Amino acid sequence: MSKTLIFGHKNPDTDSITSSLVMADLQTKLGHDVEAVRLGEFGKETQYILDHFQLEAPRLIENLDGVESVMLVDHNEFGQSADGIENVRILAVVDHHRMANFQTSEPLLYRAEPVGCTGTILYKLYRENNIEITPTIAGLMASAIVSDTLLFKSPTCTPQDEAAAKELAAIANLDLAVYGLEMLKAGTDLSDYSAEQLLSIDAKPFEMNGITMEIAQVNTASIPEMMERQAEIEAAMATIIADRNLDLFFLAITDIINSNSQVIALGTATGLVEKAYEVTLENNTVLLPGVVSRKKQIVPVLQNNA
Ligand code: MN
Ligand code: MN
């Protein structure tokens, strides 16, 4: 039997990378032969965390050739997973997203909870299995919770996420108010990214009632600074729309300090955005006050109006 690979979604964010490493640690301690891998490049926030804990990134894989079994973390939708995912055995899923387009031919361990981060669920799995959590593994889970909840400010954050992060921070000896903000800020340094790179940092494809779309999100400490690049960003968006035959490209530029998102929307289905949020796009853009979560404040809002 070949090793079971563990990975998060394409365009991996911090939770996808750290949860792969953490799940691999947990499964190894439970006696399974596994390896954490990743499906793409990751951002500076994740790099900051790996550097802090002096860890190597999981190995990048291009495809699932020769792979027999996998475990998924931080996602379940096949469209966001590895190409060929329908041809391998999925042994386990640990996730905190909506379930969509997911089907297996054999039984599996499926653990989904409506919490703010996969890290929070993994923390529970350690406790339930009575497995000791090392400071490094605790630091990775705490970092993921800070990342996914924007330091507990996102509406996706639950009391369970905060409680888990506190306990994990104590084990890892981290001051989350300081470390967490440094970590989030590291991810907002996008000056050396091309517009194409910027659009792929955290982008996910969705299909809603026949409308195909890409919903991308970038974190920033200054919306005006990012909007200086609007023309360049729109050109890159238009190319992706043409290449992938999309009806809509939705980019949320999220101000992590003030908890707002400036949206740039392009495509033939931008009317969906205007209808869903009862706004008018001017020059392809609009500010959505208080919107920071794709999972809770973007995907369901668009879905309900598509
Ligand atoms: Mn994620
Ligand atoms: Mn997540």
In this predicted structure, the answer to whether residue 1 has a pLDDT above a threshold of 80 is no
CA of 52 to the centre of ligand 1 (A): 20
Q: Which ligand sits nearest to residue 117's alpha carbon? A: 2
Q: What digits encode the pLDDT tens for the residues 171-182?
A: 999 999 999 999
Q: What digits encode the pLDDT tens for the residues 12-65?
A: 999 999 999 999 999 999 999 999 999 999 999 999 999 999 999 999 999 999
Last residue of a domain, one of 186, 218, 239: 186
My answer on whether 22 and 70 are in the same domain is yes
Q: Which ligand sits nearest to residue 145's alpha carbon? A: 2
Secondary structure (DSSP) of the chain: -PPEEEE--SS--HHHHHHHHHHHHHHHHTT--EEEEESS---HHHHHHHHHTT-PPPEE-S--TT--EEEEES---GGGS-TTGGGSEEEEEEE-S---S---SS--EEEE-SSS-HHHHHHHHHHHTTPPPPHHHHHHHHHHHHHHHTTTTSTT--HHHHHHHHHHHHHHT--HHHHHHHHHHHTT--TT--HHHHHHTTEEEEEETTEEEEEEEEEES-HHHHHTTHHHHHHHHHHHHHHHT-SEEEEEEEETTTTEEEEEEESTTHHHHHHHHT---BTTEEEEET---IIIIIHHHHHHH-
In this predicted structure, the answer to whether residue 101 has a pLDDT above a threshold of 70 is yes
Last residue of a domain, one of 132, 163, 186: 186
Residue 44 is predicted with a pLDDT of 94
CA of 11 to the centre of ligand 1 (A): 9
CA of 119 to the centre of ligand 1 (A): 10
My answer on whether 219 and 120 are in the same domain is no
Q: What percentage of the chain reaches a pLDDT higher than 90?
A: 97
CA of 231 to the centre of ligand 2 (A): 30
pTM more than 0.85: yes
As a whole number, mean pLDDT of residues 152-160 equals 96
Query: What CATH number is attached to the domain comprising 80?
Result: 3.90.1640.10
My answer on whether 175 and 243 are in the same domain is no
Beta-carbon neighbours within 5 Å of ion ligand 2: 15, 74, 118, 148
My answer on whether 211 and 242 are in the same domain is yes
CA of 91 to the centre of ligand 1 (A): 20
CA of 281 to the centre of ligand 1 (A): 28
CA of 14 to the centre of ligand 1 (A): 7
Query: What CATH number is attached to the domain comprising 296?
Result: 3.10.310.20
Question: Which residues span the domain enclosing 62?
Answer: 4-186
CA of 38 to the centre of ligand 1 (A): 12
Looking at the structure of the chain, the number of domains it has is 2
Residue 2 is predicted with a pLDDT of 80
CA of 16 to the centre of ligand 2 (A): 6
